[in-house]
Each structure stands twice: as C-alpha cells, then as structure tokens.
Amino acid sequence: MQNPYHLAGKVALITGGAEGIGFGTARVFLDQGAKVVITGRTLENLEKAQESLGINCLIYQNDITDKVSHEDLISFVEKEAGELDILVHNAGKHLKKPSVEVTDEEFQSIIDTNLNSVFALTRTALKVMVKRHRGSIVFISSMAALYGLEKIIAYTSSKTALLGMTRALASEYSNTGLRFNAIAPGFIESKMLAKALDTDQERKDKVLKRTPAGRFGKPEEIGLAAAFLASDASEFITGICLPVDGGNSIGF
C-alpha cells in the first residue's frame, strides 16, 4: 500500500515560495516526493530558491495581484510540471499601523493581495481541478484570524475572510473530490519576525510566555502541516482551520 502521507507523483503550486513559510513548505513537499512550482515577484529570489531546492522545483515570476496572469500561471504548471494536484496560497502582504491612520488605498491593497487575488487564482485552478475530481487547496491564514491583534486591521480582516472562503468552498465543492483547508501559523522564525521582535524584548518575552511550547515555530513545521492537508492521509478533512502555533492560541 502506498504511503498515504507521501506526495509522490503529485504536482504542487506554492505562491510566495521563494522564502519564509513558502520556501519551507516547498522543501517539505519536495522531500515528500512532489514536483513543485513556486512563484514570486523577484526573479533573483526565485532563482536562489530553485538552486537550493533542486531540479524538481520549477519557478514562475508572478505578482499574485496580476489576475490576468493567472491563466498563464496555471497553464505553465500543467505544461511544465504536470496536472495540478495541490495549491498552497502563501503569498501575502502585511501592514502595521494604527487603524485610524490606515488609508482606503492601503486597506484595499492588503485585501486585494491577501483575499481578492487568492480567490481569483483559486477560481482559475478550479477550472482544471474540478473536472479531475481531485485536489487539495490550502490557504495560509494567520493567528490574527483567531483573536484580536492591534494595529493590523487590514491584515486581520483579510486573513479572517480566508477562513470564510475556506468553509464556503469546502461546502460547495467537496462533493467533487476537492478539499479546502486553512492553516493559521503562529509566530514563525523569519526575517519579518526578527525585525519585529529583536528590537522589542518586552514583546518577544510576551509572545514566548503565551506560547506553551516556549519557542518560535520553523517554516518547515508549517510545511509539514500543509503536506498532511495536501496528502491522501487527510482525504476526509475539509473546511477546517488548523492552528500550527505551539499552543499560542490557547496559551494564557
């Protein structure tokens, strides 16, 4: 019997895959036997990631907000890597500032990147996945969708909406053989996290105190969760949000 946790023979598309959680997820998927296409806006970063990840990683320079390009992206995956089995929506945008200072343009930019573009690419992917009666789509949400965090109103709104999108799509399409799930990462080691906390020891201590595991997560640990949700081992799981946070969301 084939290992249901393995991804051998599967093709995955990971947006924002050149660094951070996207890169960690790509590495895990490749280790589990998948062929992976990663996207990003900066070709240099994509090429560097591809060099590290190996020959089963293909790259495609793309801005997720360029919705007209989504058809070409899916066509590239299908032509160069094979029939699309897995889509991981990792690309996103962050904004931290007091809510009363957030402009309409800034709010809309976050919503367009983290929500509108995610739906648009999902809609394009569904056109090829539904007719095959198989596929797993994983949305990378956030702990901000589970409880209130100050000064990230647009980001929180977008990531919370992804949970609604996950449930709605699961209700509509799970009878076709597709599955839709979300992951809510906790505080994961990254350049962004280091920038936010290395100069704010008080906040860093607060985060760790609230996290029962007593440490930050690693990008690959999000990748392992995504690999499970993408694998046949989770074929009866759809419409959920899985916190991967060392217990942060239940810490006190």
| Ordered domains of the chain (ranges, CATH) | 11-188+218-245 (3.40.50.720)
- Report the b/e string of 217-242 with b at 16+ CB within 10 A: bebbbbbbbbbbbbbeebeeebbbbb
Of 107, 199, 204, 214, nearest to 161 by C-alpha is 107
| pLDDT given at position 117 | 98
SS3 percent helix, strand, coil of the chain, rounded to 5, is 50, 15, 35
User: Are 40 and 61 spatial neighbours (Cβ–Cβ below 8 Å)?
Assistant: yes
- The residues of the chain scoring below 70 in pLDDT are 1
- Report the b/e string of 180-208 with b at 16+ CB within 10 A: bbbbbbbbbbbeebeebbeeeeeebeebb
d(CA 186, CA 3): 29
Q: If residue 13 lies in a helix (H) or strand (E), which one and from where to where?
A: strand 11-14
d(CA 144, CA 158): 10
Supply φ then ψ for residue 227, to 5 degrees: -65, -40
d(CA 65, CA 120): 9
d(CA 153, CA 108): 11
Global pTM reads 0.96
| pLDDT given at position 1 | 53
| pLDDT given at position 10 | 98
Q: Out of 5, 147, 155, 173, which one is annotated catalytic? A: 155
d(CA 154, CA 72): 29
Q: Model confidence over 160-183: pLDDT tens digits?
A: 999 999 999 999 999 999 999 999
Q: Is 5 a catalytic residue?
A: no
